Each structure stands twice: as structure tokens, then as C-alpha cells.
Amino acid sequence: MINHVIKTWKHHASLQLATLVVLIAGFTVITGVLTVSNNLYRILTLWGESMQMSVYLSETATIENTSAIEKFLGDSGKVDKVRLVTKDEALNQFRDQMASYAPDILKDKDLLRFIPASFQFGLNKNISIQDQLKVMQEITASVSGMAGVEEVSYGQDWVKSYGAIVNTLAWMGAAFVLVILLSAAFVMSNSIHSSIEQRREEIEVLELIGATRAHIRLPYIFEGALLGGTSSVLALGFSYGLFSATKNYLSGQIAFLQLAGHIEFIQPGFILMVVGFAIGIGALASYLCVRRINDGWAASQSLIEGH
């Protein structure tokens, strides 16, 4: 098999090189798309984690009401860091924030009555960003009906548009990756196809002297897998270089956005997926192509039939 590959490279070096370059380009694009969408997702998740929900308690809320609400939130498994902000704490916070702007307001005794106690919490990290809005709405719906609850707030409008953006991006990303994957598969099978088509004479002669299908096909399948694997690994290396350069740029030129610290290369799982996909598609494309030629009657179907 190794001999087959060496021979192929010796005699069809430029064709193989062209195929390899096309494949590397294809996988670089795939890796690039994966990296960008992965990081967009990460950044959006970071934003999502900083989203806070508040359940404001009514004036009449009893101790039992309060602990029932706390228990409900804790048992739901969907929220994190539940914290009770009492009236006094809320007032103090408010005072600290307002002191410099409107010192007069703080003298108003009635004000105390208008600042309610509340539960403050964030969403559990395990909740994917597509689900955040839904989960917030669910929590709002069930908590609103509980005794002692005045109002539930999560910055409804902002979260809605944030959720819409995330969902749109997720769909677009998935569609884009799918298109890229399909076209990569298409480009790969095309270049492997032409690379094998150029060697059809060898397949014809091997058939004529009685080589079995396995004997004829295996070296080509191995070669396709190797080509796919090699090009994806090279593409990953290449993409990593591009990624590092981009990251450097982000931390140097536009450091104020503080993005550099948060972006990262695609996860090891994705890397394995890309390489596995490449090997699989290389082997499959080779197999389909060599099978089409190697039907037992290859020589009689040759276009360049000699006499």
C-alpha cells in the first residue's frame, strides 16, 4: 500500500500536489468556519452568563412565601447563585448609587416602602444559549403565580433580541457549516476522482491480468484516506497559524475589546471530527470512484481504446 502511494507520487506528483492543495484549502475553510462560530458561541455564552433575573417580592410576602420561592428556585436546577436582597440591602445599594446624583431623594422616608426585597440569580451554566430565553420565560411563568411575588424581571426586551440574535446565528452557522462540508466533500471527491481517472489504465490492466476487486481497490481507498488525513492535518496546522496571528492582532490592535482572552481554537473533539471526516470522505470518494471503474469490464469501456 505504501508502495502504491509512493508510486503514485513519483509518477503523478503534480496531480497529487494539486489535489492536496485543493483539499488543504477546503479543510482550512472548514476549520476557519468552525473556529469563528465556536468563538462567537463562546462570546455569546459569556454574555448570557452575566444575565441576571430578579424576582421582586410583594410587601405582604411572608417568611413562608419567601422560603417557598427560594426552595422552588433551588429545586428547579436551572438557576445559579440565588441571593436574597432584603429591603435594607436594596436601599443601601440604591443609596450608594444615587448619593452623588440626587442626595435629596435619600431623605424621603417613604422611599423605603417602594424598594422591594428580591431574589437575584443567574441561569445555570449548563443551559445552552438557545434555550436561555425559553427557560427564563418558563421560570417567569411559574414564579409569577406564586404567593408573595410582585414581579419577575429579566430585562425582557433585551433578552428577547439577544435570544433572536443567538438563534439566527446558530441557524446560519449550522447552515453555513453544512454547505461548506458538502462543497468540501464535492471538491474532494472531484479531485480524487480525476486523480484516479488519470490512472484508469492501471486499473484496466490489473483487471485484465486477474486482480481481485479487493486487490485493486484497497490501495486506492488507503490512498484516499491518507490524502484526506494528511490534508486535514496540514490544514489544521495552517489554520492554527492563522488563528494565532488573529489572536495577536486582537490583543495588540484592538485590545480594548478584551476579546483576545476569550477566543480559542476549536476544541480537540472538533479537531478529531475534522480529521475523521477528512479520512472518511477521502476513503469514500476513492472507493466510489474506483468501484465505478473497476466493474470487471474496465478495459472494454475505456475511452482511449487502442487496437
How big is the chain, counted in residues?
307
At position 78, the amino acid (one-letter code) is K
d(CA 225, CA 233): 12
Q: Which is nearer to ligand ATP, 248 or 300 (CB)?
A: 300
d(CA 163, CA 44): 10
Q: Which is nearer to ligand ATP, 10 or 307 (CB)?
A: 307
d(CA 181, CA 167): 21
d(CA 291, CA 277): 21
Q: Which is nearer to other proteins, 123 or 298 (CB)?
A: 298
Nearest by Cα to 302 from 231, 188, 207: 207
Interface with other proteins (CB under 8 A), residue from 1, 6, 7, 176: 7
| Phi-psi domain of 62 (left: phi exceeds 0; alpha: psi -120 through 50; beta: other) | beta
Counting contacts by CB under 8 A, is residue 201 touching other proteins?
yes
Q: Which is nearer to other proteins, 78 or 291 (CB)?
A: 291
CB of 213 to ligand ATP, least distance (A): 24
CB of 300 to ligand ATP, least distance (A): 8
Counting contacts by CB under 6 A, is residue 306 touching ligand ATP?
no
How many residues contact ligand ATP, by CB under 6 A?
2
At position 86, the amino acid (one-letter code) is T
Interface with ligand ATP (CB under 6 A), residue from 14, 104, 305, 306: 305
Which residues lie near other proteins (CB under 8 A)?
Answer: 7, 10-11, 201-202, 204-213, 215, 295-297, 299-300, 306-307
Which residues lie near ligand ATP (CB under 6 A)?
Answer: 305, 307
